[in-house]
Amino acid sequence: MTDAPSMPRAEGRWRMLAIICLGVVGVLATWFSATAIMPELIREWGLTPGQATWLTNAVQLGFVAGAVGASLVNLPDIVAMHRLMTAAALLAALANAALLVTGPQGAIVVRFVTGVALAGVYPPALKLMATWFVRGRGLALGFLIGALTLGSSMPHLVRAVTEDVDWRAVVWATSGSALAATLLFGLAAREGPNPFGKATFDPRQSLGVFTNRSLLLANIGYFGHMWELYAMWAWILAFAAAAEAGMQPFPFGSASMLSFVVVASGVIGCLAGGWLSDRIGRCLTCAGMMLVSGGCAALIGAFFDGPPLLLALLALLWGVTVIGDSAQFSAAVTELADSAFVGTALALQMGLGFGLTVIAIWGLPLFADWIGGWQWAFLFLLPGPAIGTWAMLALRARPEAGRLAHGAR
């Protein structure tokens, strides 16, 4: 891509952003569809704690396999993005619907396939959006990650409003939304007027994530962020359910509704993070968000027994800041990586980052058992935002950081 000042603003870019975001909301609703109905699955299928954990982690592992595999063959830079997203969204809808006809062992397999499919939607969507936005990319990415956040929260909302309805309603609703996303991507999505360079198959390009110092720091920041994010999203329902047992009235009426509000509140953080990063800089925005979210992880246990209002406010602040920086790590990759292999760099960044989420999601309930309950369990997540903050401040000090957000470090 050439320098941004010489590029006119793409006509219809906001319309295309809306199309991409709507599609992402629809297909990402499949991510936590099983997690939102975990209490029912534990009762009906007789799941052990280990099986319940791996039912969530299977999606993460599938995403890792899909993203790393795609990056190794440079798939996001070879196949047309909207075609890849259409096929992957259809696969996500079918794999998610397979929960209706399988048992515990088969469920883990189809959740893995769902994760593979999501790896064919999320990274390409980021790259597709970037072909429409050069200036204002941080805010546009904020909208896109906001869409991911909203989609991820939707199963909790469906479960909260259908508590007296069979759990299969959540699976039907999320599969239907993914199918709608398939149609939207296939019929309306297209590449913008500022394309990245065309790539040929070259597995060595994946090593750039490790050999490019500035790109490595951006990725370390992302890895710290991811250590915290998905473990919080995966287990906030368990934390809320444990707190609900001893607190009346409970914030927002139920543990499921609190979980939805907390995850969905991240949309505000994504937009605020995008707006801030285009003005005060990617590095400062990411470091600031991680400092606040890490503080929330450290303090939320103090309000496990109430007061309900303070628990709700701190949980909302955490929901806003834990995801508010996410888009900016991806924006940094589009600005620091070789332009012909941006899709590969994004896919590998996400594949490795989601690999860390598998460990965090697996380890957090074990830590909770070790310390005797969920009240202080989120202390387990603190190393992530601490290391991530250091990495982004270190990146800000490097000369390459001048390429971020047109000089806004």
Task: Give CA separation, 5 vs 263, 342, 401, in Å.
Answer: 36, 20, 18
pLDDT digits (tens, 9 = 90+) for 354-382: 888 889 999 999 999 999 999 999 999 99
Q: Residue 98 domain-assigned? A: yes
Q: Residue 198 domain-assigned? A: no
Backbone torsions φ then ψ of 167, nearest 5 degrees: -60, -20
3-state secondary structure 116-159: HHHHCCHHHHHHHHHCCCCCCHHHHHHHHHHHHHHHHHHHHHHH
87-121 exposure pattern, b = at least 16 Cβ within 10 A, e = fewer: bbbbbbbbbbbbbeeeebeebbebbbbbbbbbbbb
Structure token pair of residue 48: 């052990």
Write the DSSP symbol of residue 406: G
Q: Residue 325 domain-assigned? A: yes
Q: Residue 5 domain-assigned? A: no
pLDDT digits (tens, 9 = 90+) for 71-82: 666 666 677 788
Q: Residue 201 domain-assigned? A: no
Share of the chain above pLDDT 70, in %: 87
**For residue 241, how many other CB atoms are within 10 A of its CB?**
18
- Token pair 């720091």 is found at 217
Write the DSSP assignment of 191-255 as a string of letters: --SSPPPP----GGGGGHHHHSHHHHHHHHHHHHHHHHHHHHHHHHHHHHHHHHTT-SSPGGGSH
3-state secondary structure 303-319: HCCCCHHHHHHHHHHHH
pLDDT digits (tens, 9 = 90+) for 242-255: 998 877 788 888 88
Asked if residues 196 and 340 have their Cβ atoms less than 8 Å apart, the reply is yes
Q: Residue 200 domain-assigned? A: no
CATH code of residue 364: 1.20.1250.20
| 30 SS3 class | coil
pLDDT at 142: 78
| Residues spanned by the domain of 109 | 12-191+207-407
Average pLDDT for residues 51-79, to the nearest whole number? 79
Confidence of residue 286 (pLDDT cuts 50, 70, 90): very high
The answer on pLDDT for 401 being more than 70 is no
Report which of 359, 334, 353, 267 is spatially closest to residue 63, judged by C-alpha positions.
353
Q: In which region does residue 373 sit, left (phi positive, over 0), alpha (psi from -120 to 50) or beta (all else)?
A: left
The CA-based dihedral angle spanning residues 243, 248, 251, 257, taken in that order and rounded to the nearest 10 degrees? 70
pLDDT digits (tens, 9 = 90+) for 302-349: 999 879 899 999 999 999 999 988 878 877 877 776 666 666 677 677
pLDDT digits (tens, 9 = 90+) for 94-144: 999 999 888 877 899 999 999 999 988 987 887 888 788 877 776 787 788
- Token pair 């479960």 is found at 159
Q: Residue 261 domain-assigned? A: yes
The answer on pLDDT for 223 being more than 80 is yes
Task: Give CA separation, 118 vs 43, 175, 191, 268, in Å.
Answer: 28, 13, 19, 23
The answer on pLDDT for 200 being more than 50 is no
* Counts of helices then strands in the chain (DSSP H, E): 19, 0
Higher pLDDT, 393 or 1: 393
Separation of alpha carbons 107 and 87, rounded Å? 21
- How big is the chain by its Cα radius of gyration, in Å? 20
Q: Residue 197 domain-assigned? A: no
Separation of alpha carbons 292 and 192, rounded Å? 35
The answer on pLDDT for 279 being more than 90 is no
| 8 SS3 class | coil
**For residue 43, how many other CB atoms are within 10 A of its CB?**
10
Domain count, the chain: 1
Identify the weakest region by mean pLDDT among 104-118, 198-212, 237-251, 283-297: 198-212
The answer on pLDDT for 6 being more than 60 is no
The answer on pLDDT for 300 being more than 90 is yes
Write the DSSP symbol of residue 204: G
